[in-house]
Chains A and B, each alone.
Chain A
Amino acid sequence: MALSLSPPRGLRHAAVLMTELLHLAAGNLLSPMILAFVLGAVAAFVRSDLEIPEGAAKALAIYLMFAIGFKGGVAMHAASGWALAGAIMAALALSLALPLIAFVLLRGVWQQNRTNAAAIAAHYGSISIVTFVTAAEFLRSRDIPYEGYLVAMTAVMETPAILIGLMLAGGQKSPGMPDRTSERGALFREVLVNGSVMLLMGGFAIGWITGDAGLAKIRPFVADLFNGALCIFLLDMGLVAVRQGRAARQFPKALILFGLVMPPIGATCGFLAAAALGLSAGGAMLLAVLAASASYIAVPAAMRLALPAANPSLSVTLALAITFPFNVAIGLPLYLTVAQRLFGG
Chain B
Amino acid sequence: MAHPRKKIEIIVEAPLQKPVLDWLSAQGVKGWSLFPRVIGGGKHGERSGDDITRAFDNVMIVAVATEPVARVVLDGFHTRFADAVAVVYISDVEVSRADRF
Chain A: minimal CB distance from B82 (Å): 4
A344 smallest CB distance to B (angstroms): 37
Interface residues of A in 177-222 (CB under 8 A from B): 177-178, 183, 186
Q: Does B87 contact A (CB under 8 A)?
A: no
Cβ-neighbour of A305 out of B15, B52, B53, B82 (below 8 A)? B15
A240 and B52 contact, CB distance less than 8 A: yes
Q: Write the residues of chain B forming the contact surface with A, with a CB cutoff of 8 angstroms.
A: 13-16, 18-19, 37, 45-46, 48, 50, 52-56, 78-84
Contact yes or no, B52 A57, CB < 8 A: yes
- Please give the residue numbers on chain A whose beta carbons come within 8 Å of chain B beta carbons, in ascending order: 51, 53-54, 57, 174-178, 183, 186, 236-237, 240, 243, 247, 249, 296-297, 300-305, 308-309, 312-313, 316, 320
A2 → chain B closest CB, angstroms: 63
Candidate in B15, B81, B82 with the most chain A CB atoms within 10 angstroms:
B15
Complex Cα spacing A175 to B50, Å: 30
Residues of chain B within 8 A (CB-CB) of A297 are: 52-54
**B52 to A183, Cβ gap below 8 A?**
no
9 sampled A-B residue pairs with Cβ under 8 A: A174-B83, A186-B18, A296-B52, A300-B55, A301-B15, A301-B54, A305-B16, A308-B84, A316-B55
CB of B15, distance to nearest CB on chain A (Å):
4
Q: Assess the A54–B37 pair: CB atoms within 8 A.
A: yes
Q: How far is the CB of B16 from chain A (nearest CB, A)?
A: 7
- Given the complex of chains A and B, what is the CA–CA distance between A57 and B52 in angstroms? 9
**B53–A316 touching, CB < 8 Å:** yes
Give the CA-CA distance A308 to B50 in the complex, in Å.
Answer: 21
Q: Are B19 and A176 in contact (CB under 8 A)?
A: no
By Cβ-Cβ distance, the 4 closest A-B pairs, closest first, are A300-B55, A308-B83, A304-B15, A300-B53
Question: Judging by beta carbons under 8 Å apart, are A54 and B50 in contact?
Answer: yes
A304: contacting residue among B46, B48, B55, B79, CB under 8 A? B55
Contacts of B14 in A (CB 8 A): 301
CB contacts (< 8 Å) of A240 on chain B: these are 52
Q: Which of B15, B54, B82 contacts A176 (CB 8 A)?
A: B82
Rounded to whole angstroms, the CA-CA distance of A186 and B23 in the bound complex is 14
State how many angstroms separate the Cβ of A39 from the closest Cβ of chain B: 17
